Structure 1
Amino acid sequence: MSDALNRLATWVAPLLVALSPERRRAAMVQVATYMRRSNSQRIAAQLNPDGTPYEPRKPRLRKKKGSIRRKMFEKLRTAKHLRKQATANSATISIGGRSARIARVHQYGLRDKVDWRRPNSLEVQYARRELLGFTSADEGAITDILLHHFTAGR
Structure 2
Amino acid sequence: MNNRLEALEDWAAGLLGQLEPASRNLLARSIGQALRRSQQQRIIVQQNPDGTKYAPRKKRKLRGKQGRVKRKVKMFQKLRTASFLKMRGDGKVINVGFTGRVAKIARVHQYGLKDRPERNRPEILYQKRELLGFTEADIDAIRDGLLNQLTY
- Give the structure-1-normalised TM-score: 0.92
Corresponding residue of 1:79: 82
Q: Is the deviation greater in 3-12 or in 122-131?
A: 3-12
SS in 1 for 2:6: helix
The alpha carbon displacement at 1:91 in A equals 1.0
Give distance in 2, aligned partners of 1:143 and 1:60: 44
Q: Which runs of 4+ in 1 moved over 6 A?
A: none
State how far apart, in whole Å, the 2-side matches of 1:150 and 1:127 are.
42
**Residue 112 in structure 1 maps to residue 115 in structure 2:** yes
Aligned identity (percent) is 46
Alignment partner of 1:70 is 2:73: yes
Unaligned runs of 5+ in 2: none
Q: What's the counterpart of residue 143 of structure 2?
A: 143
Given the alignment of the two structures, is residue 101 of structure 1 paired with residue 71 of structure 2, yes or no? no
Tell me the secondary structure at the aligned position of residue 80 of structure 1: coil
How many residues of Structure 1 are paired with residues of Structure 2 in the alignment? 149
Q: Structure 1 pair 11/40, CA: closer, same or farther in 2 (3 Å)?
A: same
Structure 1: segments with no counterpart, 5+ residues: none
Cα drift, residue 7 of structure 1: 1.7
Q: Output one character per residue of 1:39-85: Cα deviation in whole Å (capped at 9) or x when no partner.
A: 00000000000000000001113342434431000000000000000
TM-score, normalising length: structure 2: 0.93
SS at match of 1:74: coil
Give how far 1:3 is off: 2.9
Structure 1 residue 4, shift from structure 2 partner: 2.9
CA RMSD of aligned residues (A): 1.2
Offset of residue 33 of structure 1: 0.1
Q: In the alignment, what sits opposite 2:14? A: 14
Q: How far apart, CA to CA, are the structure 2 residues paired with 1:20 and 1:112? A: 46
User: Structure 1 CA distance, aligned partners of 2:85 and 2:133?
Assistant: 12
